[in-house]
């Protein structure tokens, strides 16, 4: 048995349409995921028992116990296959932590693929997707990558065609945002506006045809005009400073800016790689350029 390393991508939601709050507390979504070329690497090495270590930006906020989604993934796989969960999982982080870019979900998908190879459990793609969906709404997409429409909680995926490369700049925050807190704020804003927040009050979420067409065409200007995130108002309500970041990026030449998922990372779509490099200079060390689509969980060694 030798160590296995798996690379996993971050995501940006080019459309996040949020329906009303369901009885189970979740929200039905029409979630258009795009995997971007910012990656974590998860290594599973032989060990006695399950141990987690992490390195990279923001790791102080990464739990190293069984509350880490990567540990939950390993334990779920071991339980299903009746093997001992023996692995040292090492997570090399480059995806912003608690940033709205599915970093924790990516680590879970990476741990699953790495442990499956380390332990020789031979899980099928269907089984992997099932485990991913049990772990979290965004985890199945981290496994498959590319571009996909997620419905239900966001975990029921249909792959989408992407006709070209899109270039982005991501501006991370020092402080993360809690996803449940942002959904709660979205509900609160809906109630405050007098519209109600339940599934009966809010129109069923749907992917916008213009957005899907822009993805298919690989046209950044069209995509810029179609970016939409129903959680953005809630993220801005909790973090008003993000409005300044959004304005600064557009003033500096981005085609459009959007809060990524539940935030607080702000994503700027730009016309090409040169524009991305220029915008990174505007924001300094908090900013990263990356392109999309990117592949899902991929074994490196
Ligand atoms: O599925 P995941 O663990 O990523 O969800 C984290 C939290 O985000 C949930 O506990 C819920 O508060 C919120 N959420 C939601 N509706 C979704 C997905 C997530 O309300 N479709």
Tens of pLDDT, residues 117-144:
999 999 999 999 999 999 999 999 999 9
Q: Which atom of ligand 1 is nearest to the CA of 153?
A: 21
* Token pair recorded at residue 131: 């485990």
Ligand 1 pocket, mutate which of 70, 109, 137, 202 (most atoms under 8 A from CB): 137
CA angle 266, 270, 272 (to 5 degrees): 140
Q: Tell me how far the alpha carbon of residue 163 lies from the centroid of ligand 1, in angstroms.
A: 30
Handedness of CA 256, 142, 175, 291 (dihedral sign): negative
Put simply, whether the predicted model's pTM sits higher than 0.85 gets the answer: yes
Question: Which amino acids bring their CB within 6 angstroms of ligand 1?
Answer: 26-27, 29, 136-138, 153-154, 179-180, 183
Q: Which atom of ligand 1 is nearest to the CA of 136?
A: 1
Q: Tell me how far the alpha carbon of residue 179 lies from the centroid of ligand 1, in angstroms.
A: 7
Question: Residue 55, SS3?
Answer: strand
How much is the pLDDT for 57?
87
Question: Residue 94, SS3?
Answer: coil
CATH fold for domain 4-161: Ribosomal Protein S5; domain 2 (3.30.230)
In which residue are the tokens 């973090």 written?
A: 239
In which residue are the tokens 């501006």 written?
A: 171
CATH 3.30.230.10 intervals, the chain: 4-161
CATH superfamily, domain at 166-292: GHMP kinase, C-terminal domain (3.30.70.890)
| 301 vs 285: CA distance, rounded Å | 30
Antiparallel, parallel or unpaired: β 50-56 and 87-93: parallel
Q: Tell me how far the alpha carbon of residue 154 lies from the centroid of ligand 1, in angstroms.
A: 9
Average pLDDT of every residue of the chain: 97
* Token pair recorded at residue 212: 């899907």
Q: Which residues are catalytic?
A: 11, 138
How much is the pLDDT for 30?
98
Q: Are 11 and 33 in contact (CB under 8 A)?
A: yes
Residues forming a β-bridge with 269: 168, 256
Cα-based distances in Å from 30 to 70, 154, 156, 241, 283: 26, 7, 10, 27, 31
Q: Tell me how far the alpha carbon of residue 153 lies from the centroid of ligand 1, in angstroms.
A: 7
Q: Tell me how far the alpha carbon of residue 180 lies from the centroid of ligand 1, in angstroms.
A: 6
* pLDDT tens for each residue of 70-102: 999 999 999 999 999 999 999 999 999 989 999
Nearest-CA residue for ligand 1 atom 10 is: 180
> Which stretches of the chain score pLDDT less than 50?
none
* Token pair recorded at residue 4: 């296995």
Q: Which atom of ligand 1 is nearest to the CA of 154?
A: 21
Q: Which atom of ligand 1 is nearest to the CA of 31?
A: 21
How much is the pLDDT for 1?
76
H/E element, 150: strand 147-151
| 102 vs 115: CA distance, rounded Å | 20
**Of 124, 251, 237, 244, the residue nearest 189 (C-alpha):** 237
CATH 3.30.70.890 intervals, the chain: 166-292
Question: Residue 132, SS3?
Answer: helix
């Amino acid at each position: 048995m030798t160590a296995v390393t798996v690379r996993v991508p971050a995501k940006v939601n080019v459309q996040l349409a949020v329906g009303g709050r369901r009885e189970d507390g979740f929200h039905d979504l029409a979630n258009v995921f795009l995997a971007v070329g910012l990656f974590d690497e998860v290594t599973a090495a032989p060990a006695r028992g399950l141990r987690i270590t992490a390195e990279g930006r923001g790791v102080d906020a990464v739990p190293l116990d069984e509350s880490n989604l990567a540990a939950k993934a390993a334990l779920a796989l071991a339980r299903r296959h009746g093997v001992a969960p023996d692995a040292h999982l090492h997570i090399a982080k480059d995806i912003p932590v608690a940033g709205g870019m599915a970093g924790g979900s990516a680590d879970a998908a990476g741990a699953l693929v790495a442990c499956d190879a380390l332990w020789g459990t031979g899980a099928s793609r269907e089984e992997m997707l099932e485990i991913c969906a049990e772990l979290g709404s965004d985890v199945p997409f981290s496994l498959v990558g590319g571009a996909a429409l997620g419905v239900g909680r966001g975990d029921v995926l249909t792959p989408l065609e992407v006709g070209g490369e899109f270039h982005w700049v991501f501006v991370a925050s020092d402080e993360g945002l809690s996803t449940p807190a942002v959904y709660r704020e979205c509900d609160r804003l809906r109630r405050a506006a007098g519209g109600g927040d339940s599934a009966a009050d809010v129109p069923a979420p749907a992917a916008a045809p213009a957005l899907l067409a822009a993805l298919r065409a690989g046209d950044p200007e069209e995509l810029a005009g179609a970016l939409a995130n129903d959680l953005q108002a809630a993220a801005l309500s909790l973090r008003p400073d993000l409005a300044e970041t959004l304005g600064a990026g557009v003033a500096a030449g981005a085609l459009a800016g959007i809060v990524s998922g539940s935030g607080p990372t702000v994503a700027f779509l730009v016309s090409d790689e040169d524009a991305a490099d220029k915008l990174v200079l505007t924001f300094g060390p908090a900013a990263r350029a990356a392109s999309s689509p990117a592949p899902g969980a991929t074994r490196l060694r």
